[in-house]
Chain A
Amino acid sequence: MRLTLGPVLYNWEPSVWRDYHYRIADEAPVDAVCIGEVVCSKRLPFFQDMIPEVAERLARAGKEVVLSSLALVTLERERKQTASLAREADHLVEVNDISALVHLAGRPHAIGPYVNVYNEATLKWLAGNGACRVCLPPELPAASIRVLAESCPGVDIEVWSFGRAPLAISARCYHARLHKLSKDNCQFVCGKDPDGLATDTLDGQKFLTVNGVQTLSSTYVNLIGSIPDLQAMGVSSCRISPQTCDMVAVTKVFRDVADGVIRPEQGREALASICDGVSFSNGFFKGQAGMLFQPGIANGASGAGMTGV
């Protein structure tokens, strides 16, 4: 089972972004690392110049570098950036908006979790078009993942296994709106919330997370308990999405469970302690409401609502 670190989705300080990747290069037992701006093109200029040196450092450490494209492409400059990434990249490109496909000219590429691959016919079509790897949408249940993994043996299937699930993307910036600004004059207020901004219900229930134009879950998806199932299905890789907790420690836990060094339950305990105070969920994988967490298997009893480990 490979481990792929997804791109940082939040607006981190450039030096923090760079140093995080250096530490990942040096210490994290992952096979691939995705870098690139997926959420908001306004953020890209701040760390764009660091991408080549970060990519080189990761590659020297034996990590495969994947360049992730923007998820919602609407502006002309975004279209040009996406086109140039697709045409000129030295590394595998992960496509997050269908528009990138017209510029890939059949070259091998990856499909990211923001492109809708729900069934085997679409998977086969994209594979025929040059997709060698697909990270599935986080809302897909195990039953669908099983069919997809079996249907195209030549395509690597990645499943979202850790981190807040991206639930929606918009033209409107919710961070700006909260500060009574708009996307055009946002003052980059999203930078104040490096793990996203908690958005609770009026009754104080933890529910969603705002990250600029993106809305994510409050819970961190955590499929550590399902790694044996994922392996049995033929899933190639776990997609681990960076949060502000110790991601080196998180990837080590995933590595140990995937290699059978520790049991999944031990892995879950370890992650609970690394992500102190955070609730986990696996509802999407279990075919239920995404916010739920269902421990173990067997009797199908649902877990302790949205909370708990």
Chain B
Amino acid sequence: MELICPAGTPASLRAAVDAGADAVYCGFRNETNARNFPGLNFSPEELAEGVAYAHRSGAKVLVAINTFPRAGAVDLWHRAVDDAVAAGADALILCDVGLMGYAAENHPGTRLHVSVQAAAANPDAIDFYVQRFNAKRVVLPRVLSVPEIAAITRATACEVEVFVFGGLCVMAEGRCSLSSYATGLSPNMNGVCSPASHVTYEEEGGAIVSRLGGMTINRFGKGEAAAYPTLCKGRFKAGLSSGYIFEDPVSLDAATLLPGLRDAGVTALKIEGRQRSRAYIENVVRSFREALTALDRGRSIPAGMLQQMSEGQSNTLGAYRKTWR
């Protein structure tokens, strides 16, 4: 299985390639990608340099142009596609139907990958993208169990890529307006979720209260680290319950599922984290590279390796286990 690693910056790209990534994915410094945060991403020139660096090590570069072009401003996204191809990208990761049409028509020789933002969660949806746009690979939304993934790989010739580590969307990706409900900015339209521009932390009676767009997302007592107020990871009240209504603040760690994912016919494993530090990326990529090597040699993944990757955070297998639903 290929290891697909996040490259938030040119330095992270080099770190990921050096640590053993088979491919890295990145985006341009604007709203054409779903990690549109200050200090991240690439100019066309930086991308071309990054592609050259990766190719020298035999690694590939996949360019994420995975937001939905704005009405009346489609040209910005067309240019991103053109620039990615000109820079030598090995694949485009897209989610908008119109943009896929543009890429398929103008750059038929460039590989088209279906972004997780396209919510292709079943064989028919995947076939739609394969038949109409010649898609070669699909990144599956994090709503499927491992047996369901196995059923998908049996039913389609399209390569399948799944997330195995990092931040977890609990809602179907590409179909979530929670952030824009509270802030006016959304992953689909602006490439951001729960943006820092709308976050406040205030001390109230000994507690730290985190808010997004003025809505209280969480409240932390003494000794409790104040987490970033990603909307769906907050504490709320519903009925008689109060707490993490949608999801606990956990990260995805499917390292223990690597054998199962291999048996399920998965082509590539994706690590989330373009906004993470270079050191984090090196650590995670190196660990997964060692895990994959162990898997290939029929050895089990050493227990210490997993702890190292978890970094003391709470982890989950997410939707890969059906009981998560």
Known contacts A73-B125, A99-B124, A173-B325; A198 and B175 CB within 8 A of each other: no
Find out whether the CB atom of B323 lies under 8 angstroms from the CB atom of A182. yes
Known contacts A138-B177, A201-B217, A290-B181; A121 and B128 CB within 8 A of each other: no
Find out whether the CB atom of B98 lies under 8 angstroms from the CB atom of A124. yes
Bound complex: CA A204 to CA B238 (Å):
10
A217 within 8 A of B: yes
- In A50-87, the 8 Å CB interface with B consists of 71-76, 78-79, 82-83
Residues of A within 8 A of B174 (CB): 116
Q: How big is the B interface, by class?
A: 35 or more
Of A20-28, A31-39, A161-169, A268-276, the stretch lying at the interface with chain B is: A161-169
B105-137 CB mask vs A (1 if < 8 Å, else 0) is 000000000000011111111011001000000
A283 within 8 A of B: yes
Residues of A within 8 A of B72 (CB): 119-120, 143-144, 147
- Distance from A120 Cβ to chain B, minimum over Cβ atoms (Å): 6
| Residue in contact with B122 in the complex, picked from A79, A166, A284, CB distance below 8 Å | A79
Residues of A within 8 A of B73 (CB): 119
- Distance from A98 Cβ to chain B, minimum over Cβ atoms (Å): 5
Find out whether the CB atom of A143 lies under 8 angstroms from the CB atom of B325. no
- In A174-226, the 8 Å CB interface with B consists of 174, 176-178, 182-184, 197-205, 207-208, 210, 215, 217
- Closest A residue to B96 by beta carbon equals A122
B176 within 8 A of A: yes
A288 within 8 A of B: yes
B1 within 8 A of A: no
Residues of A within 8 A of B170 (CB): 170, 172
- In B216-251, the 8 Å CB interface with A consists of 216-219, 232, 234-239, 241-242, 245-247
Residues of A within 8 A of B323 (CB): 182
Known contacts A98-B128, A143-B72; A72 and B172 CB within 8 A of each other: yes
Bound complex: CA A148 to CA B98 (Å):
13
- Distance from B159 Cβ to chain A, minimum over Cβ atoms (Å): 18
Find out whether the CB atom of A73 lies under 8 angstroms from the CB atom of B124. yes
Find out whether the CB atom of B236 lies under 8 angstroms from the CB atom of A208. yes
Residues of B within 8 A of A291 (CB): 181-182, 213, 215
Find out whether the CB atom of A118 lies under 8 angstroms from the CB atom of B102. no
Find out whether the CB atom of A116 lies under 8 angstroms from the CB atom of B131. no
Find out whether the CB atom of A118 lies under 8 angstroms from the CB atom of B215. no
| Residue in contact with B97 in the complex, picked from A72, A122, A288, A305, CB distance below 8 Å | A122
Bound complex: CA A171 to CA B321 (Å):
11
| Residue in contact with B171 in the complex, picked from A75, A169, A173, A176, CB distance below 8 Å | A169
Residues of A within 8 A of B120 (CB): 98-99
- Closest B residue to A290 by beta carbon equals B181
Known contacts A139-B189, A203-B216; A183 and B124 CB within 8 A of each other: no
Known contacts A165-B177, A197-B238, A201-B215; A82 and B171 CB within 8 A of each other: no
Give the number of chain A interface residues (Cβ < 8 Å).
76
- Closest A residue to B131 by beta carbon equals A102
Bound complex: CA A184 to CA B145 (Å):
13
B101 within 8 A of A: yes
Residues of A within 8 A of B242 (CB): 202
CB within 8 Å: A-B pair count: 223
Bound complex: CA A119 to CA B215 (Å):
30
Find out whether the CB atom of B236 lies under 8 angstroms from the CB atom of A200. yes
Find out whether the CB atom of B246 lies under 8 angstroms from the CB atom of A215. yes
A287 within 8 A of B: yes
A94 within 8 A of B: no
Bound complex: CA A171 to CA B141 (Å):
10
Find out whether the CB atom of A121 lies under 8 angstroms from the CB atom of B102. yes
Residues of B within 8 A of A262 (CB): none
B86 within 8 A of A: no
Find out whether the CB atom of A121 lies under 8 angstroms from the CB atom of B236. no
| Residue in contact with B181 in the complex, picked from A74, A98, A167, CB distance below 8 Å | A167
Bound complex: CA A138 to CA B195 (Å):
20
Find out whether the CB atom of B236 lies under 8 angstroms from the CB atom of A202. yes
Find out whether the CB atom of B69 lies under 8 angstroms from the CB atom of A118. yes
Bound complex: CA A121 to CA B72 (Å):
9
Residues of A within 8 A of B (CB): 71-76, 78-79, 82-83, 97-103, 114, 116, 118-126, 137-140, 143-145, 147-148, 151, 165-174, 176-178, 182-184, 197-205, 207-208, 210, 215, 217, 283-284, 287-291, 305
12 sampled A-B residue pairs with Cβ under 8 A: A79-B124, A99-B128, A103-B124, A119-B68, A119-B74, A139-B188, A165-B177, A171-B143, A174-B238, A202-B237, A208-B181, A289-B183
Residues of B within 8 A of A (CB): 68-74, 95-99, 101-102, 118-125, 127-128, 131, 143-144, 148, 151, 170-172, 174-178, 180-184, 186, 188-189, 209, 213-219, 232, 234-239, 241-242, 245-247, 319, 322-325
Pairs of residues from A and B, 9 with the lowest C-beta to C-beta distance, nearest first: A121-B98, A122-B98, A171-B143, A99-B124, A168-B171, A147-B71, A290-B181, A118-B68, A183-B325
